[in-house]
Amino acid sequence: MTPAPDPIIDDRTSGNLNSNLGTRWQCIADTVMGGVSRGGLAAEAIDGCPCLHLTGQVSLANNGGFVQAGLDLRPAGLLDARGWSGIELVVRGNDETYNLHLRTVDTRIVWQSYRASFRAGPQWETVRLPFADFTPYRIDRPLDLSTLRRLGLVAIGRAMAADLSVSRIAFYSG
């Protein structure tokens, strides 16, 4: 387990899909489970701001319903976030509600996660998601911040157009 000494997860300075942590963002859609949602992920500049841009169409057909930008938090091993209060995002979007999903060693089945929702409006804004606000989904164990392994920015649960840009994602305290 590696402590997270630096709060920055990704500030989009790489210019590609690599994060500050040395891991790479991936686009995942419900097609991995038979759904028909479509998504794309790109490193772009919007309003002059370098960002990660998740787009797509979420469909509920075939028991589907998500498009995700996923990121492993360590190339090998786990990340210990107990020194932080939550996760801060600088986002812009299409005025839809999105989720941030966290996965730990306890989330062994793909649909298990700890989730918090946020709205992404048409202007860049900072959103803080306290760890205390993350709720377990299909798991009965509390969130163990010492064993984080992955996070996901997710458009999920209803038919919608996904259009989410993130210019910074970091841990925060206080």
DSSP 65: -
Model pLDDT, residue 33: 78
Model pLDDT, residue 64: 84
> Looking at the domain that runs over 2-172, which CATH code has it been given?
2.60.120.430
Model pLDDT, residue 3: 53
Angle at 116 between CA 100 and CA 111, to 5 degrees: 65
Q: Are 165 and 42 in contact (CB under 8 A)?
A: no
Residue-by-residue pLDDT tens, the chain, 174 positions: 555 567 999 999 999 999 999 999 999 999 877 889 999 999 999 999 999 999 999 999 988 899 999 999 998 889 999 999 999 999 999 999 999 999 999 999 988 999 999 999 999 999 999 999 999 999 999 999 999 999 999 999 999 999 999 999 999 998
Q: Are 117 and 99 in contact (CB under 8 A)?
A: yes
Exposure of 103 in the CB half-sphere (CA atoms within 13 A): 18
Ordered DSSP codes for 153-169: EEEESS-EEEEEEEEEE
Q: What is the pTM of this model?
A: 0.94
Model pLDDT, residue 92: 98
- 138: how many CB neighbours lie within 10 A of its CB? 10
Hey, what are 173's tokens?
A: 């305290």
**Beta-sheet pairing, 66-72 with 135-137:** unpaired
Compute the 3-state secondary structure of the chain and give helix, strand, coil in percent, each to the nearest 5.
Answer: 5, 55, 40
